[in-house]
Amino acid sequence: MPVPIPTTDGRLFADGLVVMTYLEGGPPETQADWRRVAGTLRELHRLTQAWPQRPGWRSSTDLLHAETGTKIDLGAMPPESVARCRAAWARLTGRQTCVVHGNPNNPGNVRMTASQVGLIDWDESHIDVPDLDLVLPGNAAGLDDGALDIAGQASAAWEAAVCWDDEYAVRRLAEVRAV
Q: What are phi and psi of 100, to 5 degrees?
A: -115, 145
Q: How confident is the model at residue 13 (pLDDT cuts 50, 70, 90)?
A: confident
Is 179 domain-assigned? no
pLDDT per residue over 41-86, tens digit each?
A: 999 999 999 999 999 999 999 999 999 998 899 999 999 999 999 9
Is 142 domain-assigned? yes
Residue 43's domain is classified under what CATH number?
3.90.1200.10
Is 14 domain-assigned? no
What is the pTM assigned to this prediction?
A: 0.90
Query: What sign for the dihedral angle of Cα 131, 103, 175, 56?
Result: positive
pLDDT per residue over 149-161, tens digit each?
A: 999 999 999 999 9
- pLDDT averaged over every residue in the chain: 95
Q: How confident is the model at residue 96 (pLDDT cuts 50, 70, 90)?
A: very high
Q: Which domain holds residue 148?
A: 31-174
Is 11 domain-assigned? no
Radius of gyration of the chain (CA): 17
Give the total number of structural domains in the chain.
1
Is 24 domain-assigned? no
Q: Which helix (H) or strand (E) holds 104?
A: none
- Predicted local confidence at residue 83, as pLDDT: 98
Q: What letter represents residue 56's amino acid? A: G
Is 2 domain-assigned? no
Picking from 11, 37, 22, the residue whose alpha carbon sits closest to that of residue 116 is: 37
Distance of CA 31 to the CA centre of its chain: 20
Is 54 domain-assigned? yes
Is 26 domain-assigned? no
| Mean local confidence (pLDDT), 100-126 | 95
- Predicted local confidence at residue 1, as pLDDT: 76
Name residues whose C-beta falls within 8 Å of residue 25's C-beta, 6 or more positions apart in sequence: 111, 112, 113, 116, 118
Picking from 50, 60, 124, the residue whose alpha carbon sits closest to that of residue 93 is: 60
pLDDT per residue over 111-122, tens digit each?
A: 999 999 999 999
Cβ–Cβ < 8 Å for 6, 59: no
28: left (phi over 0), alpha (psi -120 to 50) or beta: beta
Q: Poorest-confidence range of 1-10, 82-91, 103-112, 167-176?
A: 1-10
